[in-house]
């Protein structure tokens, strides 16, 4: 019997792909491009199969289709990569909001980045839906903005994910 690889698991939850070391507190942004460059370099340094230029190119390519700034100071940049073996996430709280061409025109300070394997279309969409629902909550956004350390930021994110999972 054939078994689906873990990277195609549509039941994957955000806390499974967001370790504490990829939750970053008060990141210097400057611009949308710099935020995406920072993430691309950061994720490639910590994931040998990934190339920072390739990740950046895919994220920028997705932005060209339409901004991933979803409003309320939130952006959800995401892309597929043939070199990504399993879905991975990173959450960045920016030190200062940046223009992300968001749909509401507001600058962004909460950035949840998703990178998934090329073939993981269902998982990609399921994870994007989870992120959108999670960050649609004004209470969650406020709690994330009020976190005073990386540790508190991560705990706040995981608690919000668990709360969301319990409601499902």
Catalytic positions are: 78
CA distances from 20 to 61, 108, 148, 156 (A): 28, 21, 15, 11
State how far the Cα of 159 lies from the Cα of 23, in Å rounded to an integer: 14
Q: How many CB atoms lie within 10 A of CB 101?
A: 13
Please give the structure tokens belonging to residue 74.
């939130």
How far out from the chain centre does Cα 4 lie?
24
């Amino acid at each position: 019997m054939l078994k689906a690889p873990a990277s195609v698991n549509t039941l994957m939850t955000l806390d499974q792909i967001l370790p504490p070391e990829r939750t970053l507190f008060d990141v210097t942004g400057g611009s949308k491009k710099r935020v995406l460059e920072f993430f691309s370099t950061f994720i490639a340094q910590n994931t040998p199969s990934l190339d920072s230029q390739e990740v950046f190119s895919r994220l920028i390519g997705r932005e060209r289709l339409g901004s991933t700034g979803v409003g309320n100071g939130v952006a959800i940049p995401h892309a597929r990569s043939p070199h990504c073996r399993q879905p991975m996430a990173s959450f960045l709280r920016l030190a200062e909001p940046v223009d992300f061409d968001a749909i509401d025109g507001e600058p962004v300070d909460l950035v949840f980045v998703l990178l998934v394997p090329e073939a993981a279309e269902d998982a990609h969409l399921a994870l994007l839906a989870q992120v959108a629902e999670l960050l649609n909550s004004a209470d969650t956004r406020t709690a994330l903005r009020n976190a005073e350390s990386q540790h508190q930021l991560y705990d706040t994110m995981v608690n919000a994910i668990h709360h969301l999972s319990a409601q499902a």
